[in-house]
Amino acid sequence: MQHFNGGKTLPPDVPFPEGVRVGQLLFLSGVIGHLPGEMRLPSGGIMPEARQALHNLHSVLQGQGLGLQHLVRCTVMLADMADWAAFNEVWRDAFGDIPLPARSAFGCQGLALSARVEIECIAVSAAS
């Protein structure tokens, strides 16, 4: 088991790693749309936050030599389910022609930094 933090997205003092690798599986910690290295969200609501969250997720994957195509399962937490359609628009744009991973989404209260969205994922480092 290997814990990792590439240092590109999270400030060094957070009490969790970007993820944990177990064999070929990577269990990624939840990612919000905070600006890299800061604990501050972009202004503008769900769409800029979702774009930044996906950018942060992609950065974590790149730090492990992977990309969005390596995601197999994601869970999306939305502060307001009314944002689901807008989030899906950003999600589709981020993946383009890459096959989408399995995904669940649910509404919740109290995300870190009063974020509108948090995404946690499982990736695989080698295709079977």
pLDDT in tens, 15-44: 899 999 999 999 999 999 999 888 899 999
pLDDT at 128 over 70: no
Segment 44-74, tens digit of pLDDT: 999 999 999 999 999 999 999 999 999 999 9
Give the C-alpha separation, 26 to 121, whole Å: 8
Per-residue model confidence (pLDDT) at position 127: 57
In one letter, which amino acid is 30?
A: G
Segment 85-117, tens digit of pLDDT: 999 999 999 999 999 999 999 999 999 999 999
Bridge pairing between strands 102-107 and 71-78: parallel
User: What are the E-state strand segments in the chain?
Assistant: 2-4, 19-22, 25-28, 31-32, 71-78, 102-107, 117-124
pTM: 0.94
Instruction: Show me where the domains of the chain are located.
Output: 2-124
CATH 3.20.20.370 describes domain 2-124? no
Residue the block writes with tokens 């994601």: 74
